[in-house]
Amino acid sequence: MGNEKMSPIDQPRKRVDNPPQRLQKKSRKWIYLALILVVVVIAAVAIVVSQNLLSPSNDNNEPEGNPVALFDTSFGTFKVELYRDKMPETVDNFVKLVNDGFYNGVIFHRIGDNFMIQGGGYYPNGTRKTSPYGNIPFETSDVKHIDGAISMASTGAKVGGAAEFFICDGAQTFLDGNYAAFGVVVEGIDVVRTIASQPHPDSGDGTGKPDTDILINNIIIISS
């Protein structure tokens, strides 16, 4: 009997775990995976929350899209949308000067009824104020000199300006393509008209310095 071969039925059988034990192991595996997933989600949420807390609020920052400038003058306030999407270099130059406080306390030194009001270059005592950044290149687009348009003043047609600007009182189509219009008054055009109609000596072209100083108290960039 000792030399007889075992029949298949007598050979050692492979140990088979108790089915309930296998189920318990699988259950524990899925529980561990679920816990890991929960930890990952919690960590991701914590990172997002911390970034939002650390990031400065956008309430006081420049708005998305085209910025809007609020002009506070001695004759009242008005708002101008600046067409950064069409005149980026000109608008960025203007916004930089505004944020520097460059225009605070200067005057509208040249006005003309049914033409325009020009400012950004002189103090009330006549002292000239020049941009610390110098002239910028002449920029063109399809922005027209419609009623209320703001444009760069310069020494001549198709010449880049620096800091001085003018705002149209009525459409001035003859200026299209020769001066860099870069926005338009969206609120308070009546203030522009009042400024343009103030008494002034005629310098020969219907414009001149107002008899009474018209101050730009300040300009700030606000949301639209």
Query: With bands split at pLDDT 50, 70 and 90, how would you rate the model's confidence at 80?
Result: very high
CB atoms within 10 A of CB 49: 10
Residue-wise pLDDT for 131-151, tens only, equals 999 999 999 999 999 999 999
Contact yes or no for 136/161 (Cβ under 8 A): yes
| Alpha carbon 174 to chain centroid, angstroms | 30
The pLDDT value recorded for residue 179 is: 98
> Do 101 and 42 lie in a common domain?
no
The pLDDT value recorded for residue 144 is: 98
Work out the burial of residue 169: count CB atoms within 10 Å of its CB; fewer than 13 is exposed, 13-18 middle, 19 or more buried.
Answer: buried
Q: Average pLDDT for residues 11-39, to the nearest whole number?
A: 61
Q: How far apart are CA 93 and CA 203, in angstroms?
A: 29
> Do 169 and 90 lie in a common domain?
yes
Q: Average pLDDT for residues 6-19, to the nearest whole number?
A: 46
Q: Six-digit token pair at 44?
A: 């991701």
Residue 222 exposure: Cα atoms within 13 Å on the Cβ side: 14
> Do 133 and 185 lie in a common domain?
yes
Residue 171 lies in a domain: yes
**By percentage, how much of the chain surpasses pLDDT 70?**
74
> Do 99 and 207 lie in a common domain?
yes
Report the mean per-residue pLDDT for the chain. Answer: 85
Enter the pTM of the model. 0.72
Question: Considering its fold, how many domains does the chain have in total?
Answer: 2
Residue 4 lies in a domain: no
Query: With bands split at pLDDT 50, 70 and 90, how would you rate the model's confidence at 51?
Result: low
Residue 120 lies in a domain: yes
Q: How far apart are CA 222 and CA 67, in angstroms?
A: 7
- The CATH code of the domain that includes 103 is 2.40.100.10
Task: Please give the residue range of the domain that contains residue 38.
Answer: 17-55
